[in-house]
A and B are shown apart, each in its own frame.
Chain A
Protein backbone atom coordinates (compact mmCIF):
# COMPACT_ATOMS: atom_id res chain seq x y z
CA UNK A 1 0.00 0.00 0.00
CA UNK A 2 2.83 2.39 0.78
CA UNK A 3 4.01 2.43 -2.83
CA UNK A 4 0.50 3.33 -3.96
CA UNK A 5 0.36 6.24 -1.55
CA UNK A 6 3.78 7.42 -2.67
CA UNK A 7 2.58 7.64 -6.27
CA UNK A 8 -0.48 9.62 -5.18
CA UNK A 9 1.74 11.92 -3.15
CA UNK A 10 4.10 12.41 -6.05
CA UNK A 11 1.34 13.44 -8.43
CA UNK A 12 -0.27 15.76 -5.89
CA UNK A 13 3.11 17.22 -4.93
CA UNK A 14 4.07 17.87 -8.54
CA UNK A 15 0.87 19.84 -9.18
CA UNK A 16 1.46 21.84 -6.01
CA UNK A 17 4.99 22.47 -7.21
CA UNK A 18 3.76 23.70 -10.58
CA UNK A 19 1.43 26.13 -8.84
CA UNK A 20 3.96 27.24 -6.25
CA UNK A 21 6.67 27.80 -8.88
CA UNK A 22 4.56 30.44 -10.61
CA UNK A 23 3.80 31.99 -7.26
CA UNK A 24 7.42 32.08 -6.17
CA UNK A 25 8.62 33.25 -9.61
CA UNK A 26 6.44 36.38 -9.41
CA UNK A 27 7.60 36.96 -5.86
CA UNK A 28 11.27 36.46 -6.68
CA UNK A 29 11.37 38.59 -9.83
CA UNK A 30 8.61 41.20 -9.39
CA UNK A 31 8.71 41.27 -5.58
CA UNK A 32 4.93 40.93 -5.45
CA UNK A 33 2.90 38.42 -3.47
CA UNK A 34 0.43 37.64 -6.20
CA UNK A 35 -2.73 36.67 -4.36
CA UNK A 36 -4.62 36.47 -7.65
CA UNK A 37 -2.59 33.38 -8.58
CA UNK A 38 -5.36 31.14 -7.21
CA UNK A 39 -7.89 32.85 -9.48
CA UNK A 40 -5.57 32.43 -12.48
CA UNK A 41 -5.33 28.72 -11.61
CA UNK A 42 -9.13 28.54 -11.64
CA UNK A 43 -9.32 30.46 -14.95
CA UNK A 44 -6.97 27.90 -16.50
CA UNK A 45 -9.29 25.07 -15.50
CA UNK A 46 -12.36 26.90 -16.85
CA UNK A 47 -10.56 27.78 -20.09
CA UNK A 48 -9.71 24.13 -20.70
CA UNK A 49 -13.24 23.05 -19.81
CA UNK A 50 -14.77 25.57 -22.21
CA UNK A 51 -12.32 24.59 -24.94
CA UNK A 52 -13.40 20.99 -24.55
CA UNK A 53 -17.15 21.60 -24.20
CA UNK A 54 -17.73 24.51 -26.58
CA UNK A 55 -14.91 24.19 -29.11
CA UNK A 56 -14.66 20.38 -28.98
CA UNK A 57 -10.91 20.45 -28.73
CA UNK A 58 -8.99 17.34 -27.79
CA UNK A 59 -7.52 17.38 -24.31
CA UNK A 60 -3.95 18.25 -25.32
CA UNK A 61 -5.13 21.22 -27.37
CA UNK A 62 -7.35 22.37 -24.52
CA UNK A 63 -4.34 22.19 -22.21
CA UNK A 64 -2.34 24.43 -24.54
CA UNK A 65 -5.30 26.78 -24.90
CA UNK A 66 -5.55 27.02 -21.10
CA UNK A 67 -1.82 27.66 -20.85
CA UNK A 68 -1.99 30.50 -23.36
CA UNK A 69 -5.20 31.94 -21.91
CA UNK A 70 -3.98 32.08 -18.33
CA UNK A 71 -0.61 33.37 -19.52
CA UNK A 72 -2.30 36.26 -21.31
CA UNK A 73 -4.40 36.96 -18.21
CA UNK A 74 -1.15 37.14 -16.23
CA UNK A 75 0.28 39.63 -18.74
CA UNK A 76 -2.87 41.74 -18.55
CA UNK A 77 -2.62 41.82 -14.75
CA UNK A 78 0.95 43.03 -15.07
CA UNK A 79 0.24 45.67 -17.71
CA UNK A 80 -3.02 47.03 -16.29
CA UNK A 81 -2.33 46.92 -12.56
CA UNK A 82 1.18 46.02 -11.50
CA UNK A 83 3.02 48.23 -14.00
CA UNK A 84 1.25 51.47 -13.01
CA UNK A 85 2.00 50.64 -9.38
CA UNK A 86 5.68 50.05 -10.20
CA UNK A 87 5.79 53.37 -12.02
CA UNK A 88 4.51 55.05 -8.89
CA UNK A 89 7.04 53.20 -6.77
CA UNK A 90 4.27 51.98 -4.46
CA UNK A 91 5.33 50.15 -1.28
CA UNK A 92 5.19 46.32 -1.35
CA UNK A 93 1.88 46.09 0.43
CA UNK A 94 0.06 47.98 -2.30
CA UNK A 95 0.48 45.57 -5.25
CA UNK A 96 -0.42 42.66 -2.98
CA UNK A 97 -3.70 44.35 -2.06
CA UNK A 98 -4.37 45.06 -5.74
CA UNK A 99 -3.94 41.35 -6.55
CA UNK A 100 -6.41 40.48 -3.79
CA UNK A 101 -8.93 42.69 -5.61
CA UNK A 102 -8.12 41.03 -8.94
CA UNK A 103 -8.64 37.60 -7.37
CA UNK A 104 -12.04 38.60 -5.95
CA UNK A 105 -12.97 40.05 -9.34
CA UNK A 106 -12.18 36.87 -11.30
CA UNK A 107 -13.71 34.54 -8.73
CA UNK A 108 -17.01 36.34 -8.67
CA UNK A 109 -17.05 37.04 -12.42
CA UNK A 110 -16.71 33.30 -13.10
CA UNK A 111 -19.31 32.56 -10.46
CA UNK A 112 -21.69 34.99 -12.17
CA UNK A 113 -20.99 33.59 -15.66
CA UNK A 114 -20.89 29.85 -14.99
CA UNK A 115 -22.72 29.63 -11.60
CA UNK A 116 -21.16 28.28 -8.43
CA UNK A 117 -21.94 24.68 -9.39
CA UNK A 118 -19.33 22.04 -9.74
CA UNK A 119 -18.63 21.23 -13.40
CA UNK A 120 -16.93 18.17 -14.83
CA UNK A 121 -14.94 17.19 -17.86
CA UNK A 122 -16.86 14.69 -20.04
CA UNK A 123 -16.01 11.24 -18.71
CA UNK A 124 -15.04 9.72 -22.07
CA UNK A 125 -12.30 12.31 -22.37
CA UNK A 126 -10.26 11.17 -19.43
CA UNK A 127 -7.81 8.34 -19.96
CA UNK A 128 -8.77 5.63 -17.48
CA UNK A 129 -6.25 2.93 -18.33
CA UNK A 130 -4.16 1.61 -15.48
CA UNK A 131 -0.52 0.68 -15.75
CA UNK A 132 1.38 -1.59 -13.38
CA UNK A 133 4.91 -0.82 -12.23
CA UNK A 134 6.35 -3.48 -9.96
CA UNK A 135 2.86 -4.29 -8.75
CA UNK A 136 1.91 -0.65 -8.17
CA UNK A 137 -1.20 0.44 -9.99
CA UNK A 138 -0.79 3.84 -11.63
CA UNK A 139 -3.35 5.56 -13.81
CA UNK A 140 -2.27 7.06 -17.12
CA UNK A 141 -3.62 10.37 -15.88
CA UNK A 142 -1.27 10.32 -12.89
CA UNK A 143 1.69 9.49 -15.11
CA UNK A 144 0.74 12.30 -17.47
CA UNK A 145 0.45 14.73 -14.56
CA UNK A 146 3.82 13.77 -13.11
CA UNK A 147 5.61 13.78 -16.46
CA UNK A 148 4.08 17.06 -17.62
CA UNK A 149 4.76 18.81 -14.31
CA UNK A 150 8.36 17.68 -14.21
CA UNK A 151 8.88 18.58 -17.88
CA UNK A 152 7.61 22.11 -17.30
CA UNK A 153 9.63 22.46 -14.11
CA UNK A 154 12.73 21.13 -15.86
CA UNK A 155 12.28 23.68 -18.63
CA UNK A 156 11.95 26.44 -16.04
CA UNK A 157 15.08 25.33 -14.18
CA UNK A 158 17.00 25.16 -17.44
CA UNK A 159 15.93 28.65 -18.44
CA UNK A 160 16.67 30.09 -15.01
CA UNK A 161 20.10 28.54 -14.60
CA UNK A 162 21.53 28.05 -18.05
CA UNK A 163 20.33 30.81 -20.35
CA UNK A 164 20.89 34.50 -20.80
CA UNK A 165 17.26 35.20 -19.93
CA UNK A 166 17.61 33.33 -16.65
CA UNK A 167 20.74 35.28 -15.83
CA UNK A 168 18.91 38.53 -16.57
CA UNK A 169 15.98 37.44 -14.39
CA UNK A 170 18.29 36.67 -11.51
CA UNK A 171 19.90 40.07 -11.94
CA UNK A 172 16.47 41.70 -11.79
CA UNK A 173 15.66 39.72 -8.67
CA UNK A 174 18.73 41.27 -7.04
CA UNK A 175 17.96 44.81 -8.15
CA UNK A 176 15.68 45.92 -11.00
CA UNK A 177 17.38 49.32 -11.14
CA UNK A 178 20.87 47.93 -11.49
CA UNK A 179 19.61 45.45 -14.09
CA UNK A 180 18.07 48.27 -16.11
CA UNK A 181 21.35 50.19 -15.97
CA UNK A 182 23.11 47.10 -17.35
CA UNK A 183 20.90 47.30 -20.43
CA UNK A 184 18.45 44.56 -19.45
CA UNK A 185 14.94 45.07 -20.77
CA UNK A 186 13.38 44.94 -17.31
CA UNK A 187 9.78 45.69 -18.29
CA UNK A 188 9.88 43.10 -21.05
CA UNK A 189 11.17 40.44 -18.69
CA UNK A 190 8.56 41.35 -16.09
CA UNK A 191 5.96 40.73 -18.77
CA UNK A 192 7.57 37.41 -19.71
CA UNK A 193 7.71 36.39 -16.04
CA UNK A 194 4.05 37.26 -15.58
CA UNK A 195 3.15 35.19 -18.62
CA UNK A 196 5.21 32.18 -17.52
CA UNK A 197 4.03 32.24 -13.92
CA UNK A 198 0.36 32.55 -14.86
CA UNK A 199 0.72 29.87 -17.56
CA UNK A 200 2.21 27.44 -15.02
CA UNK A 201 -0.64 28.29 -12.64
CA UNK A 202 -3.23 27.72 -15.37
CA UNK A 203 -1.77 24.34 -16.31
CA UNK A 204 -1.74 23.34 -12.65
CA UNK A 205 -5.43 24.29 -12.57
CA UNK A 206 -6.24 22.02 -15.51
CA UNK A 207 -4.28 19.15 -13.98
CA UNK A 208 -6.01 19.43 -10.61
CA UNK A 209 -9.37 19.74 -12.38
CA UNK A 210 -8.63 16.49 -14.26
CA UNK A 211 -7.23 14.74 -11.20
CA UNK A 212 -10.20 15.49 -8.93
CA UNK A 213 -12.62 15.94 -11.84
CA UNK A 214 -14.11 19.08 -10.39
CA UNK A 215 -14.17 22.65 -11.70
CA UNK A 216 -15.75 25.37 -9.56
CA UNK A 217 -15.23 29.13 -9.11
CA UNK A 218 -13.53 28.98 -5.72
CA UNK A 219 -11.22 26.04 -6.55
CA UNK A 220 -8.25 28.39 -6.51
CA UNK A 221 -8.59 29.48 -2.88
CA UNK A 222 -7.49 26.30 -1.09
CA UNK A 223 -4.52 25.89 -3.40
CA UNK A 224 -3.59 29.54 -2.92
CA UNK A 225 -3.36 28.87 0.81
CA UNK A 226 -1.28 25.80 0.10
CA UNK A 227 0.90 27.82 -2.23
CA UNK A 228 1.51 30.26 0.62
CA UNK A 229 2.40 27.34 2.90
CA UNK A 230 4.72 25.88 0.28
CA UNK A 231 6.69 29.02 -0.30
CA UNK A 232 6.99 29.67 3.44
CA UNK A 233 8.21 26.12 3.94
CA UNK A 234 10.68 26.37 1.11
CA UNK A 235 11.79 29.95 1.60
CA UNK A 236 10.21 32.82 -0.28
CA UNK A 237 11.29 33.54 -3.81
CA UNK A 238 13.42 30.39 -3.94
CA UNK A 239 12.63 28.04 -6.84
CA UNK A 240 14.36 25.01 -5.33
CA UNK A 241 12.58 25.69 -2.06
CA UNK A 242 9.20 25.81 -3.80
CA UNK A 243 9.81 22.40 -5.34
CA UNK A 244 10.94 20.83 -2.06
CA UNK A 245 8.16 22.51 -0.08
CA UNK A 246 5.49 21.39 -2.56
CA UNK A 247 6.68 17.77 -2.53
CA UNK A 248 6.83 17.89 1.23
CA UNK A 249 3.27 19.17 1.49
CA UNK A 250 2.01 16.62 -1.05
CA UNK A 251 3.61 13.73 0.85
CA UNK A 252 2.53 15.06 4.26
CA UNK A 253 -1.08 15.34 3.09
CA UNK A 254 -1.37 12.00 1.36
CA UNK A 255 0.45 10.05 4.05
CA UNK A 256 -1.51 11.67 6.88
CA UNK A 257 -4.80 10.85 5.14
CA UNK A 258 -3.64 7.27 4.66
CA UNK A 259 -2.21 6.62 8.11
CA UNK A 260 -3.75 9.13 10.56
CA UNK A 261 -7.15 10.02 9.16
CA UNK A 262 -8.68 12.30 6.56
CA UNK A 263 -9.46 15.10 9.02
CA UNK A 264 -5.75 15.48 9.71
CA UNK A 265 -4.98 16.22 6.07
CA UNK A 266 -4.48 19.95 6.48
CA UNK A 267 -3.48 19.75 10.14
CA UNK A 268 -0.20 17.97 9.43
CA UNK A 269 0.81 20.28 6.61
CA UNK A 270 -0.10 23.46 8.43
CA UNK A 271 1.14 22.20 11.80
CA UNK A 272 4.49 21.83 10.14
CA UNK A 273 4.11 25.29 8.68
CA UNK A 274 3.52 26.64 12.18
CA UNK A 275 6.71 25.02 13.43
CA UNK A 276 8.66 26.49 10.54
CA UNK A 277 7.14 29.90 11.29
CA UNK A 278 8.23 29.72 14.91
CA UNK A 279 11.69 28.27 14.41
CA UNK A 280 12.74 29.44 10.99
CA UNK A 281 10.30 32.05 9.68
CA UNK A 282 12.47 32.71 6.65
CA UNK A 283 11.80 29.14 5.41
CA UNK A 284 14.05 26.15 4.93
CA UNK A 285 16.07 27.71 2.11
CA UNK A 286 15.38 31.39 2.60
CA UNK A 287 17.53 34.17 3.94
CA UNK A 288 16.22 36.99 6.08
CA UNK A 289 16.63 40.10 4.01
CA UNK A 290 17.85 42.83 6.25
CA UNK A 291 18.63 46.25 5.05
CA UNK A 292 22.07 47.37 6.00
CA UNK A 293 21.52 51.03 6.82
Chain B
Protein backbone atom coordinates (compact mmCIF):
# COMPACT_ATOMS: atom_id res chain seq x y z
CA UNK B 1 0.00 0.00 0.00
CA UNK B 2 2.89 2.31 0.77
CA UNK B 3 4.35 1.84 -2.67
CA UNK B 4 0.97 2.70 -4.13
CA UNK B 5 0.84 5.86 -2.01
CA UNK B 6 4.24 6.84 -3.32
CA UNK B 7 3.20 6.14 -6.87
CA UNK B 8 -0.01 8.11 -6.42
CA UNK B 9 1.80 11.06 -4.87
CA UNK B 10 4.04 11.34 -7.91
CA UNK B 11 1.77 10.26 -10.72
CA UNK B 12 -1.78 11.12 -9.64
CA UNK B 13 -1.82 14.20 -11.86
CA UNK B 14 -0.63 12.18 -14.83
CA UNK B 15 -3.26 9.49 -14.29
CA UNK B 16 -6.04 12.03 -13.91
CA UNK B 17 -4.80 13.85 -17.02
CA UNK B 18 -5.18 10.60 -18.94
CA UNK B 19 -8.81 10.50 -17.83
CA UNK B 20 -9.43 14.11 -18.83
CA UNK B 21 -7.73 13.62 -22.18
CA UNK B 22 -9.86 10.51 -22.61
CA UNK B 23 -12.95 12.69 -22.22
CA UNK B 24 -11.58 15.13 -24.81
CA UNK B 25 -10.81 12.34 -27.27
CA UNK B 26 -14.34 10.97 -26.78
CA UNK B 27 -15.78 14.43 -27.42
CA UNK B 28 -14.17 14.58 -30.86
CA UNK B 29 -14.99 10.92 -31.48
CA UNK B 30 -18.66 11.82 -31.12
CA UNK B 31 -18.59 14.44 -33.87
CA UNK B 32 -16.40 12.22 -36.06
CA UNK B 33 -18.89 9.37 -35.64
CA UNK B 34 -21.47 11.65 -37.23
CA UNK B 35 -19.09 12.41 -40.09
CA UNK B 36 -18.26 15.90 -38.88
CA UNK B 37 -14.65 17.02 -38.81
CA UNK B 38 -15.18 19.75 -36.23
CA UNK B 39 -11.99 21.11 -34.70
CA UNK B 40 -13.63 23.33 -32.09
CA UNK B 41 -13.20 20.99 -29.12
CA UNK B 42 -10.23 22.84 -27.65
CA UNK B 43 -12.27 26.05 -27.75
CA UNK B 44 -15.24 24.34 -26.08
CA UNK B 45 -12.87 22.97 -23.47
CA UNK B 46 -11.63 26.51 -22.84
CA UNK B 47 -15.13 27.91 -22.56
CA UNK B 48 -15.99 25.17 -20.07
CA UNK B 49 -12.81 25.74 -18.07
CA UNK B 50 -13.29 29.51 -17.84
CA UNK B 51 -17.01 29.28 -17.07
CA UNK B 52 -16.49 26.77 -14.27
CA UNK B 53 -13.55 28.64 -12.76
CA UNK B 54 -15.31 32.00 -12.86
CA UNK B 55 -18.46 30.49 -11.34
CA UNK B 56 -16.39 29.27 -8.40
CA UNK B 57 -14.02 32.20 -8.01
CA UNK B 58 -16.40 35.10 -8.65
CA UNK B 59 -19.85 33.74 -7.82
CA UNK B 60 -18.82 31.32 -5.09
CA UNK B 61 -20.79 28.50 -6.67
CA UNK B 62 -20.33 24.93 -5.39
CA UNK B 63 -18.16 22.60 -7.49
CA UNK B 64 -21.12 20.63 -8.85
CA UNK B 65 -22.81 23.77 -10.14
CA UNK B 66 -19.53 24.91 -11.68
CA UNK B 67 -19.19 21.61 -13.53
CA UNK B 68 -22.75 21.89 -14.83
CA UNK B 69 -22.08 25.49 -15.90
CA UNK B 70 -18.88 24.33 -17.57
CA UNK B 71 -20.95 21.90 -19.62
CA UNK B 72 -23.86 24.24 -20.33
CA UNK B 73 -21.88 27.23 -21.63
CA UNK B 74 -20.06 25.44 -24.46
CA UNK B 75 -23.28 23.62 -25.37
CA UNK B 76 -25.05 26.95 -25.81
CA UNK B 77 -22.19 28.32 -27.89
CA UNK B 78 -22.23 25.14 -29.99
CA UNK B 79 -25.94 25.58 -30.66
CA UNK B 80 -25.38 29.18 -31.79
CA UNK B 81 -22.44 28.57 -34.12
CA UNK B 82 -23.67 25.14 -35.17
CA UNK B 83 -26.64 26.46 -37.13
CA UNK B 84 -24.61 28.25 -39.81
CA UNK B 85 -21.38 26.21 -39.78
CA UNK B 86 -22.75 22.67 -39.76
CA UNK B 87 -24.17 23.30 -43.21
CA UNK B 88 -20.58 23.23 -44.41
CA UNK B 89 -19.19 19.83 -45.23
CA UNK B 90 -15.85 18.07 -44.92
CA UNK B 91 -12.78 20.24 -44.86
CA UNK B 92 -14.83 23.44 -45.08
CA UNK B 93 -16.26 22.65 -41.67
CA UNK B 94 -12.77 21.88 -40.36
CA UNK B 95 -11.57 25.30 -41.49
CA UNK B 96 -14.56 27.12 -40.09
CA UNK B 97 -14.23 25.43 -36.70
CA UNK B 98 -10.48 26.06 -36.64
CA UNK B 99 -11.28 29.72 -37.26
CA UNK B 100 -13.85 29.66 -34.49
CA UNK B 101 -11.21 28.24 -32.14
CA UNK B 102 -8.96 31.20 -32.85
CA UNK B 103 -11.88 33.57 -32.28
CA UNK B 104 -12.44 32.06 -28.83
CA UNK B 105 -8.75 32.26 -27.96
CA UNK B 106 -8.57 35.91 -28.99
CA UNK B 107 -11.81 36.69 -27.16
CA UNK B 108 -10.45 35.17 -23.93
CA UNK B 109 -7.23 37.11 -24.45
CA UNK B 110 -9.08 40.39 -24.79
CA UNK B 111 -11.77 40.03 -22.11
CA UNK B 112 -9.08 40.88 -19.57
CA UNK B 113 -11.32 42.05 -16.74
CA UNK B 114 -12.97 38.63 -16.62
CA UNK B 115 -10.38 36.19 -17.79
CA UNK B 116 -7.10 37.82 -16.77
CA UNK B 117 -6.10 38.10 -20.44
CA UNK B 118 -2.76 36.59 -21.39
CA UNK B 119 -1.84 36.04 -17.73
CA UNK B 120 -4.72 33.60 -17.33
CA UNK B 121 -6.59 32.70 -14.18
CA UNK B 122 -4.50 31.71 -11.23
CA UNK B 123 -5.39 30.10 -7.90
CA UNK B 124 -8.39 28.08 -9.02
CA UNK B 125 -9.29 25.81 -6.05
CA UNK B 126 -8.04 22.28 -6.57
CA UNK B 127 -11.42 20.62 -6.17
CA UNK B 128 -11.10 17.82 -8.71
CA UNK B 129 -10.76 14.48 -6.94
CA UNK B 130 -9.83 11.24 -8.65
CA UNK B 131 -13.39 9.95 -8.39
CA UNK B 132 -14.72 13.02 -10.19
CA UNK B 133 -12.58 12.16 -13.21
CA UNK B 134 -13.34 8.45 -13.06
CA UNK B 135 -17.04 9.15 -12.56
CA UNK B 136 -17.15 11.56 -15.50
CA UNK B 137 -15.30 9.14 -17.75
CA UNK B 138 -17.53 6.21 -16.80
CA UNK B 139 -20.66 8.31 -17.22
CA UNK B 140 -19.61 9.60 -20.63
CA UNK B 141 -18.59 6.13 -21.78
CA UNK B 142 -21.93 4.76 -20.61
CA UNK B 143 -23.93 7.49 -22.35
CA UNK B 144 -21.96 7.11 -25.59
CA UNK B 145 -22.21 3.33 -25.44
CA UNK B 146 -25.99 3.52 -25.09
CA UNK B 147 -26.13 6.18 -27.77
CA UNK B 148 -24.19 4.04 -30.24
CA UNK B 149 -26.72 1.25 -30.00
CA UNK B 150 -29.74 3.54 -30.12
CA UNK B 151 -31.69 4.92 -33.04
CA UNK B 152 -29.69 8.14 -32.79
CA UNK B 153 -26.36 6.33 -32.97
CA UNK B 154 -27.46 4.45 -36.07
CA UNK B 155 -28.63 7.73 -37.58
CA UNK B 156 -25.15 9.20 -36.91
CA UNK B 157 -23.60 6.27 -38.73
CA UNK B 158 -25.96 6.63 -41.66
CA UNK B 159 -25.15 10.34 -41.92
CA UNK B 160 -21.43 9.58 -41.76
CA UNK B 161 -21.67 7.05 -44.57
CA UNK B 162 -23.85 9.20 -46.82
CA UNK B 163 -25.70 12.34 -45.76
CA UNK B 164 -27.92 12.54 -48.82
CA UNK B 165 -29.01 8.92 -48.56
CA UNK B 166 -29.64 9.38 -44.83
CA UNK B 167 -31.88 12.38 -45.43
CA UNK B 168 -33.80 10.40 -48.05
CA UNK B 169 -34.40 7.75 -45.39
CA UNK B 170 -36.15 10.39 -43.33
CA UNK B 171 -33.32 11.20 -40.93
CA UNK B 172 -33.12 14.85 -39.89
CA UNK B 173 -29.50 15.36 -40.90
CA UNK B 174 -28.99 18.86 -39.54
CA UNK B 175 -30.65 18.16 -36.20
CA UNK B 176 -28.59 15.02 -35.68
CA UNK B 177 -25.40 16.85 -36.59
CA UNK B 178 -26.39 19.58 -34.17
CA UNK B 179 -26.94 16.99 -31.43
CA UNK B 180 -23.51 15.43 -31.98
CA UNK B 181 -21.86 18.85 -32.08
CA UNK B 182 -23.57 20.11 -28.90
CA UNK B 183 -23.05 16.88 -26.97
CA UNK B 184 -19.39 16.87 -27.99
CA UNK B 185 -19.13 20.47 -26.77
CA UNK B 186 -20.66 19.50 -23.41
CA UNK B 187 -18.15 16.66 -22.95
CA UNK B 188 -15.24 18.90 -23.92
CA UNK B 189 -16.53 21.57 -21.52
CA UNK B 190 -16.73 19.01 -18.71
CA UNK B 191 -13.15 17.96 -19.40
CA UNK B 192 -12.08 21.61 -19.37
CA UNK B 193 -13.84 22.30 -16.06
CA UNK B 194 -12.28 19.22 -14.44
CA UNK B 195 -8.86 20.08 -15.81
CA UNK B 196 -8.99 23.67 -14.57
CA UNK B 197 -9.67 22.44 -11.03
CA UNK B 198 -6.86 19.94 -11.28
CA UNK B 199 -4.08 22.24 -12.52
CA UNK B 200 -5.42 25.38 -10.71
CA UNK B 201 -4.20 27.55 -13.56
CA UNK B 202 -5.68 28.22 -17.00
CA UNK B 203 -4.51 30.54 -19.76
CA UNK B 204 -5.76 31.30 -23.26
CA UNK B 205 -2.82 29.63 -25.02
CA UNK B 206 -3.82 26.28 -23.50
CA UNK B 207 -6.98 26.16 -25.58
CA UNK B 208 -5.54 27.11 -28.94
CA UNK B 209 -4.73 25.31 -32.14
CA UNK B 210 -2.15 22.97 -30.56
CA UNK B 211 -4.61 21.59 -28.04
CA UNK B 212 -7.15 21.04 -30.79
CA UNK B 213 -4.55 19.13 -32.78
CA UNK B 214 -3.62 17.07 -29.71
CA UNK B 215 -7.23 16.07 -29.18
CA UNK B 216 -7.60 15.03 -32.79
CA UNK B 217 -4.31 13.11 -32.64
CA UNK B 218 -5.48 11.09 -29.64
CA UNK B 219 -8.69 10.04 -31.36
CA UNK B 220 -7.04 9.22 -34.69
CA UNK B 221 -4.13 7.36 -33.07
CA UNK B 222 -6.43 5.18 -31.01
CA UNK B 223 -8.97 4.72 -33.77
CA UNK B 224 -12.41 6.20 -34.12
CA UNK B 225 -14.31 3.00 -34.84
CA UNK B 226 -15.42 2.57 -31.24
CA UNK B 227 -15.12 3.90 -27.72
CA UNK B 228 -11.93 2.04 -26.78
CA UNK B 229 -9.75 3.69 -29.41
CA UNK B 230 -10.05 7.32 -28.28
CA UNK B 231 -9.35 6.43 -24.64
CA UNK B 232 -6.37 4.29 -25.63
CA UNK B 233 -5.05 7.10 -27.86
CA UNK B 234 -5.46 9.61 -25.02
CA UNK B 235 -3.47 7.37 -22.68
CA UNK B 236 -0.65 6.95 -25.19
CA UNK B 237 -0.40 10.64 -26.11
CA UNK B 238 -0.43 11.61 -22.43
CA UNK B 239 2.23 9.08 -21.45
CA UNK B 240 4.46 9.53 -24.47
CA UNK B 241 6.24 12.74 -23.34
CA UNK B 242 7.02 11.04 -20.00
CA UNK B 243 8.48 8.01 -21.74
CA UNK B 244 10.51 10.06 -24.21
CA UNK B 245 12.20 12.37 -21.71
CA UNK B 246 15.65 11.35 -22.93
CA UNK B 247 15.00 12.88 -26.36
CA UNK B 248 14.68 16.39 -24.87
CA UNK B 249 14.04 18.98 -27.61
CA UNK B 250 13.28 16.36 -30.22
CA UNK B 251 10.54 14.89 -28.06
CA UNK B 252 7.56 16.38 -29.84
CA UNK B 253 9.10 15.32 -33.15
CA UNK B 254 8.08 11.77 -32.26
CA UNK B 255 4.45 12.92 -31.96
CA UNK B 256 4.63 14.28 -35.49
CA UNK B 257 6.19 11.11 -36.86
CA UNK B 258 3.62 8.93 -35.09
CA UNK B 259 0.80 10.97 -36.58
CA UNK B 260 2.12 10.64 -40.13
CA UNK B 261 2.94 6.94 -39.76
CA UNK B 262 -0.47 6.13 -38.30
CA UNK B 263 -2.25 7.98 -41.07
CA UNK B 264 -0.13 6.32 -43.76
CA UNK B 265 -0.06 2.76 -42.48
CA UNK B 266 -2.85 2.29 -39.93
CA UNK B 267 -5.65 4.54 -41.17
CA UNK B 268 -8.11 2.99 -38.76
CA UNK B 269 -5.94 3.63 -35.71
CA UNK B 270 -4.34 1.27 -33.24
CA UNK B 271 -7.53 -0.20 -31.85
CA UNK B 272 -9.19 -1.80 -34.85
CA UNK B 273 -11.29 -4.86 -33.97
CA UNK B 274 -11.68 -5.73 -37.62
CA UNK B 275 -7.92 -6.05 -38.07
CA UNK B 276 -7.61 -8.05 -34.86
CA UNK B 277 -10.23 -10.45 -36.16
CA UNK B 278 -8.43 -10.76 -39.51
CA UNK B 279 -5.13 -11.52 -37.80
CA UNK B 280 -6.86 -14.07 -35.64
CA UNK B 281 -8.48 -15.71 -38.63
CA UNK B 282 -5.20 -15.77 -40.53
CA UNK B 283 -3.35 -17.32 -37.62
CA UNK B 284 -6.01 -19.97 -37.33
CA UNK B 285 -5.85 -20.67 -41.05
CA UNK B 286 -2.06 -21.02 -40.89
CA UNK B 287 -2.40 -23.30 -37.87
CA UNK B 288 -4.98 -25.47 -39.64
CA UNK B 289 -2.93 -25.87 -42.81
CA UNK B 290 0.08 -26.74 -40.66
CA UNK B 291 -1.84 -29.60 -39.07
CA UNK B 292 -2.84 -30.99 -42.44
CA UNK B 293 0.75 -31.32 -43.42
Which A residues are closer than 8 A to B by beta carbons?
27, 31-33, 35, 81, 84-85, 88, 90-98, 100-109, 111-112, 115-116, 221, 224-225, 228-229, 231-232, 236, 263-264, 266-267, 270-271, 273-274, 277-279, 281-282, 288-291, 293
Task: Tell me whether B209 and A33 are in contact (CB under 8 A).
Answer: no
Partner-contacting stretch, out of B1-9, B57-65, B148-156, B247-255: B247-255
Q: Which residues of B contact A108 (CB under 8 A)?
A: 249-253, 255-256
Tell which of A91, A108, A236 has the most Cβ of chain B within 10 Å. A108
Task: Tell me whether A273 and B99 are in contact (CB under 8 A).
Answer: yes
A199 to chain B, nearest CB (A): 22
Task: Tell me whether A104 and B259 are in contact (CB under 8 A).
Answer: yes
Number of residues in B with C-beta < 8 Å to the partner?
A: 46
Q: Which residues of B contact A290 (CB under 8 A)?
A: 89
Our count of residue pairs bridging A and B at CB distance below 8 angstroms stands at 155
CA distance in complex: A96, B164 (Å): 24
Per DSSP, chain A at the interface is: helix
CA distance in complex: A27, B92 (Å): 10
Q: Which residue of A lies closest to B219 (CB)?
A: A97
Task: Tell me whether B85 and A277 are in contact (CB under 8 A).
Answer: yes
CA distance in complex: A290, B87 (Å): 9
Task: Tell me whether A228 and B102 are in contact (CB under 8 A).
Answer: yes
Complex partner residue of B209 from A84, A105, A225, A236, CB under 8 angstroms: A225
Q: Which residue of A lies closest to B37 (CB)?
A: A93
A222 to chain B, nearest CB (A): 10
Task: Tell me whether A274 and B256 are in contact (CB under 8 A).
Answer: no
B147 within 8 A of A: no
Task: Tell me whether B99 and A94 are in contact (CB under 8 A).
Answer: no
Q: Which residues of A contact B85 (CB under 8 A)?
A: 277, 281
CA distance in complex: A290, B182 (Å): 23
Task: Tell me whether B253 and A221 are in contact (CB under 8 A).
Answer: no
8 A–B pairs (Cβ distance < 8 Å), ordered by A = A92-B91, A96-B37, A105-B256, A108-B255, A112-B249, A228-B95, A263-B112, A281-B92
